[in-house]
Structure 1
Amino acid sequence: MRQRDITPPPSLISGLPDDYITTSFSKLEYLCELAEEISESLNENRGGNQWLLVSSLPARMIRKLDGEERDTLGPSYRFQWEGSTGLIKVIPPSYGHGVIISRLFRAILRKFYRMGIDDTEYDWRGRTTFTPTKKGKQADETFFPQHRLQSLQYGRCGWPTLVIERGVSESLRRLREEAKWWFTHSKGQVRIVIVIGISETEKAVTFEKWQLAPPDAPLPLTREYRNALASSLPPSLQQPAETQQAYLAQKIYVRPGTVVGTPMVLPFATLIDRPPGPSENDVILDDKDVKLITRDIIGNY
């Protein structure tokens, strides 16, 4: 099942847990079997490896795995590829994993509703694929201001302002690498990536807000400079990959009876890509919001 003689692109294996599974493509049925084994293990153990690396994928199979048929492999998944190598993230089948993202974006929507923001100004897109040259990636969830969504509909690569990536707690290192993927390939047009690590065994959830430092930031970033950035907007200009410094701007840890690191602040101008009007302000997720978002994993407080 695991073949370590494969030499995959570094971008696909960086940060993966040691027990990720590797195979060379032979037929779809075998991929389905492997995905089902991973899903069953995640369900039984409430965590563990959720990654399947597949080499020698034909172009037709990449199109199929990337298609709109959500049950191609049986279990729910997200797909990323580079050249003929693909990386599959199997989504744990538990209710908590499935609902946490919808609770997060509903919390954001409630804030917009109270500001009087019309829902024609933005949209959420789940498995939308973004395809830089000879590679592509699906997110767990993406947020678009309307003008960027229009560019996507016209066939150009319109990038979201916010991306959400979630996984089991054992996947946090890999999810951080995926956050960097969004910044790198969008040239900084993705402003914020929220990484969610879930531990069902410990009934704990970690939220990490990642963003880019300004292009004139010191290299490497100092602690003092990071602290100074805490109240600043993410850069609104494009940045080539070689000048980027992604950093952890905020971390929230939640477990029964404990919420540390709130509130999470999502700047209005960063999300909607325009200055706020008189009744518009930043989206602030406080303790109450975070408890509601995580209640299916943590339980009622």
Structure 2
Amino acid sequence: MGLRREWQTGGATTYYERSGNHGGRRSGQGDSTGGPFPERSAEDACPTLVIEAGYSESLQRLRNDMQWWFSASNHGVKIVLLVKFDPRRQEILLEKWEEEPRGQRPGAATTRSMGSLAPVKRQTVTITKDPTSPDTYNVARGALVLSFRLLFLRDPNPGEGDIVFSIQDLEEIAQSVWRALPRS
């Protein structure tokens, strides 16, 4: 797609809440971040994508971090990808989270605004190491798809589209991850 110049990786950069006084703001550091360039290149700009990975952290802790990213960025973060490694189960769990307007309250007038945004889990992918065959992985629930519009904050041009990590891509990533993890 030729988007390398339009994407800026933030790595494990520290970001601060976009509200509150400067001295009292909480900070967060995703395991990897990124956003469109130059739209989100300012020093205090938030990324559109945050990846939170956990080996020793619980899935609930990662989900709390996800909620913090959406809230602290004043909803500037568009996708949070959670990656939970479970060495005991030989499993990698991927959860893709986005936000959508909260549903209207029962009985509210239809002319009112939808109100605030709420995190919604859009996709779950489970990658399991095959115990009978080294370096073989089973990917459940298909390819991982990241919305072009949410990542780049614009509609795709001809030849551009959603970012798709195929089953083969996910198997290769899993292989790299398991090789890097401590042996149990």
Q: Normalising to structure 1: TM-score of the pair?
A: 0.49
Task: Report the counterpart of residue 123 of structure 2 in structure 1.
Answer: 250
Q: CA separation in 2, counterparts of 1:211 and 1:249? A: 7
> Given the superposition, is the C-alpha separation of residues 258 and 298 from structure 1 closer, same or farther in structure 2, using an over 3 Å criterion?
farther
Measure how far apart 1:187 and its partner are: 1.6
Task: Report the counterpart of residue 31 of structure 1 in structure 2.
Answer: none
Q: Give the match's secondary structure for 1:181.
A: helix
Map residues 119-198 of structure 1 onto 2, 5 A cutoff: 119-132=4-17, 133=20, 134=24, 135-152=26-43, 157-168=44-55, 171-198=58-85
Q: CA separation in 2, counterparts of 1:196 and 1:219? A: 33
Task: Report the counterpart of residue 109 of structure 2 in structure 1.
Answer: none
Q: Give the match's secondary structure for 2:42.
A: helix
Matched, 1:116 2:6: no
- What per-residue deviation string (whole Å, max 9, x for no partner) do you get for residues 61-106 of structure 1? xxxxxxxxxxxxxxxxxxxxxxxxxxxxxxxxxxxxxxxxxxxxxx
> Given the superposition, is the C-alpha separation of residues 191 and 174 from structure 1 closer, same or farther in structure 2, using an over 3 Å criterion?
same
Map residues 1-301 of structure 1 onto 2, 5 A cutoff: 115-117=1-3, 119-132=4-17, 133=20, 134=24, 135-152=26-43, 157-168=44-55, 171-215=58-102, 217-218=103-104, 243-255=116-128, 256=130, 257-298=137-178
Q: CA separation in 2, counterparts of 1:297 and 1:198? A: 9
Q: CA separation in 2, counterparts of 1:193 and 1:278? A: 26
Measure how far apart 1:259 and its partner are: 1.0
Q: Is the 8 A contact 1:121 1:146 kept in 2?
A: yes
Q: Normalising to structure 2: TM-score of the pair?
A: 0.78
Dislocated runs of 4+, deviation >4 Å: none
Q: CA separation in 1, counterparts of 2:118 and 2:166? A: 27
Higher helix proportion (structure 1 or 2): 1
Look at both structures and tell me which one has the larger radius of gyration over its CA atoms.
1
Q: Is the 8 A contact 1:264 1:285 kept in 2?
A: yes
Q: CA separation in 2, counterparts of 1:254 and 1:136? A: 31
Q: CA separation in 1, counterparts of 2:13 and 2:56? A: 24
Q: CA separation in 2, counterparts of 1:177 and 1:131? A: 16
Gaps of 5+ in 1: 1-114, 221-241
Q: Give the match's secondary structure for 1:278.
A: coil
Q: Give the match's secondary structure for 1:188.
A: coil
Q: CA separation in 2, counterparts of 1:179 and 1:198? A: 16
Q: How many residues align?
A: 158
Higher strand proportion (structure 1 or 2): 2
Percent sequence identity is: 31
Measure how far apart 1:254 and its partner are: 0.7
